[in-house]
Structure 1
Amino acid sequence: MVRKLKHTEIGDIPVDWELQTFDETFRVMSNNTLSRENLNNRGGAVRNIHYGDILTKFPEVLDCSEDEIPFVNDLSLLSSSTQLLQDGDIVVADTAEDETVGKVIEVQNLGDSKLVAGLHTIPCRVKKGDFAPGWLGYYMNSDLFHNQILPYITGIKVSSISKGAISETLILVPPFDEQEKIVQSLNKIQLLMTAETKVVNKIKLVKNGCLSKMFPQKDDTVPEIRLPGFTEAWEQRKLGDFGKATGGTSIESEFSEDGIYKVISIGSYSENSVYNDQGIRAIKSDKTSNRVLNRNDLTMILNDKTTSGNIIGRVLLIEESGIYVYNQRTERIEINLDEYDSVFLYEMLNAPNIREKIIKQAQGNTQIYVNWTAISLLKYMIPSKEEQVKIGEYLHSISNLITLHQRKCDKYSSIKKGMMSDLLTGKIRLV
């Protein structure tokens, strides 16, 4: 059977699907202005949706019976105008550092709990339309809706949107039974993603526990936990002792899948990242400065173009030799393999409690950076080469396990994105 379509402002949609504006659909409610310092994860009477959690943590549909939502420290901080949320309400993050601004969560399974929307959010309640639980959360995070928001984003360093600016964006309203079927399908893939995410987070907790106990703390010369067979005290060494350092280069060539230079971008430095030749390649270009990187080299980020400095000091391990283009904001460390194990150094330098040493040396206002000459003098406690190898192997096996489950999660995420593209536009019908 041929499905009839109609042309609309957001593209072709099924003829039996309706459109209504954001302003027609929602009544905007009051939020509060509590910062992260006013919240806790221990407990309380009222929970609070922080915009940062919307952007980085919460899924499209917030299951209040399962997802961890912080509590308000002091109820007297809430103004009398702050309104409690209920199932079916949506909360929009109106501020972000990039185009993720406008991400939405839909509140579900609140039960008897009390929940409010916090700083930099726009809480809304449906006043017109019949929506299946979960539909608004999925639809308003789809490209179909988010692309409508893009023209209304303002700001340079910080992106923001206003409730007035997005009042004429369009909400898609399919028949209720079709909404239900679409949501059921998306919920299934979301459950798989959630399960993998929980596994990743549990393994990360295990690894963080190992990192805090397998390296000496403060003035100690040995760690709290050691692998069997090692008893010697660790020795103090400087960061600059680990190997020869060379600065990166600017990337001026265009990118191509069939180019000859392997490119290490700042985006390559994800958590638990190892560079294994899976990145983009740059085309051959006389303008491109390039250097040979060898297996077991490390590259470290020295300059964070944002004001957060969150990626300063993060290290990447090279697992395959080749000709690379690596960013001028990074430093290559050609490890002295006679004395040091590169896997051990990679795990040690990326450990949050150890990377703090480098972050504390950061300077700058509009861009946060560290000077290699200065941080090369930082001191670390290092065991024998044999013990380094064993610790590196142990920690790296945990990292590989995290990567394995993260890739599964990423695969499910890709599948879900494709499903949203097809189901939320009516390209594939479930009725």
Structure 2
Amino acid sequence: MGNKNTPEIRFPGFIGDWEQRRLNEYLTTSKVKNRDERFGKEDVLSVSGDFGIVNQIEFQGRSFAGVSVAPYGVVETGDVVYTKSPLKSNPFGIIKTNKGQAGIVSTLYAVYKPNDNVDSKFVERYFENDQRLNRYLKPLVNKGAKNDMKVSDDNALIGTVVFPVEVDEQRKISSFFNQLDNLITLQQQELDTLKQTKQGFLQKMFPKEGETVPEIRFPGFSGEWEERKLSEIAEFNPKSILPDEFEYVDLESVVGTNLIAHRTESKESAPSRAQRLAQRGDVFYQTVRPYQKNNYLYDLPYNNYVFSTGYAQMRPIIDSYFLLSRVQEELFVKTVLDRSTGTSYPAINSNDLSEIEIKVPTDNDEQTQIGNFFKQLDETIALQQKELDALKQTKKAFLQKMFI
């Protein structure tokens, strides 16, 4: 364990206390403006909490620059930018380093030049922890400002930070987090590719509108699929007696096709919406905001899980995994939305859902093969998501333990 002036985790070869100084000993406010209009509206930069400093057109599809960009601040590579306007995620703003090309930012941003005693990428990493950033900025809010959360350009530099004395140590820390970010980005890309692959198969392995056979089919199967109402292939909302104590699953507990949370409730004090007692093989379809596609196949060996009435409970007489995959497909979701009511929170009731017709293979083995295919794909996606979440948690822990 480190003392109050050394971090808990430190790279070998570095010793001695970190120094407590004002941030203005590391950064200097830049007064460089785009007076000669060397940069145009296509060079305007945006600051994002997730993506850092990026070209506004590439990031948001257009430039939101004013009539003239002459008053805009010039941002060179390595400069530090502070967003003075509060954001939803950070009420006092955010601090980022420009790792890309030079450009300009509006007067909503403050631009700082790094001094020789600091690595500007380290400055960003230091403030990447939201709690540390907000602790630092909160005392610096301008007194009497119209916007209570606003911090001026110079005020943002007068707070106290604790940095390594050696710039090499700062660089080593920022380089470590860059590598960790690259791993996270790669993992995210692989996850996105898997999800896109699944969407592609969902479109091609079920018949399109007006057709009776899918574009892609497993070998050995032929013949047209038949059209059936959901009520003909599944029992809807079967009646059951709730146990005295159970695990409750609400609408926030399912993301994608994964159960991410549940909580213990007693029958006497449980929410009135806790009514759907799960049986293995049941498919739970989210009837509120169905475009989110948060639907779950209950495959746990327990008889004490109860779902909210925000889900339609389907007990299939066909392959359960086939049905789960079928209701994830875009054409089905569009059909559900067409029959939903409400705009901000579109919803469909179970009776209307049960009347929707889908095409189903007449051969049970074909249903099973399709269901198993998507089951394996979902398991791969879930594993990839778990690895991504673990990487993010690892980064979060290092942000706490490698800084003061």
TM-score by length of 2: 0.72
Identity across matched positions, percent: 20
Cα distance change on mapping 1:366 and 1:395 into 2, 3 Å:
closer
The residue identity in structure 2 corresponding to 1:224 is E
1:147 to 1:235, Cα distance in 2 relative to 1, 3 A? farther
CA distance in structure 2 between the aligned counterparts of 1:171 and 1:240, rounded to whole angstroms: 65
AA of the residue aligned to 1:132: D
1:274 partnered with 2:258 = yes
Deviation string 1:386-420 (CA, Å, 9 cap, x unpaired) is: 21111111122122112112211111111111111
CA distance in 1, matches of 2:84, 2:250: 28
Does residue 1:388 correspond to 2:367, yes or no?
yes
- Give, as a single letter, the amino acid of the residue that structure 1 aligns with 2:379: N
Whole-Å separation in 1 of the counterparts to 2:238 and 2:138: 39
2:23–2:160 contact (8 Å) kept in structure 1:
yes
Distance 1:223 1:419, change over 3 A: same
Q: Which residue of 2 aligns with 1:322?
A: 303
1:206 corresponds to which residue?
A: 197
Q: For the pair shown, which has the larger CA radius of gyration, 1 or 2? A: 2
- Cα distance change of structure 1 residues 270 and 25 upon mapping to structure 2, 3 Å threshold: farther
Q: Is the 8 A contact 1:4 1:15 kept in 2?
A: no
Deviations 1:190-228 (A, max 9, x none): 232222222212222322221221111121111111111
Aligned to 1:221: 212
Q: Which residue pairs with 1:16 in the alignment?
A: 19
Q: Over residues 280-321 of structure 1, what are the superposed CA-to-partner deviations in whole Å (9 max), with x where a residue is unaligned?
A: 4314352225543111111122224xxxx752x531111114
Matches within 5 A, 1:407-426: 407-425=386-404
Give the one of 160, 167, 174 matched to 2:163.
Answer: 174
Aligned to 2:132: 145
Structure-1 separation of matches of 2:130 and 2:352: 45
Note the residue ranges of structure 2 that are not aligned, 5 or more in a row: 7-16, 34-40, 140-145
- Alpha-carbon RMSD across the aligned residues, in angstroms, is 4.3
Q: Gapped runs of 5+ residues in structure 1? A: 7-13, 31-44, 153-160, 249-258, 426-431
Equivalent pairs, count: 361
Q: Does the 8 Å CA contact 2:277/2:304 hold for their aligned counterparts? A: yes
Aligned to 1:263, the other structure's residue is in SS state strand
Compared CA separation, residues 103 and 185, structure 1 to 2 (3 A): farther
1:240 counterpart residue number: 231
CA distance in 2, matches of 1:163, 1:127: 27
In the alignment, which residue of structure 1 is the partner of 2:14? none
Q: What is the alpha-carbon distance in structure 1 between the residues aligned to residue 334 and residue 94 of structure 2? A: 33
What is the deviation of 1:136? 3.8
Is residue 192 of structure 2 the alignment partner of residue 196 of structure 1?
Answer: no
> What is the TM-score of this pair, normalised by structure 1?
0.68
The yes-or-no answer on 1:126 pairing with 2:112 is yes
What SS does the aligned partner of 2:255 have? coil
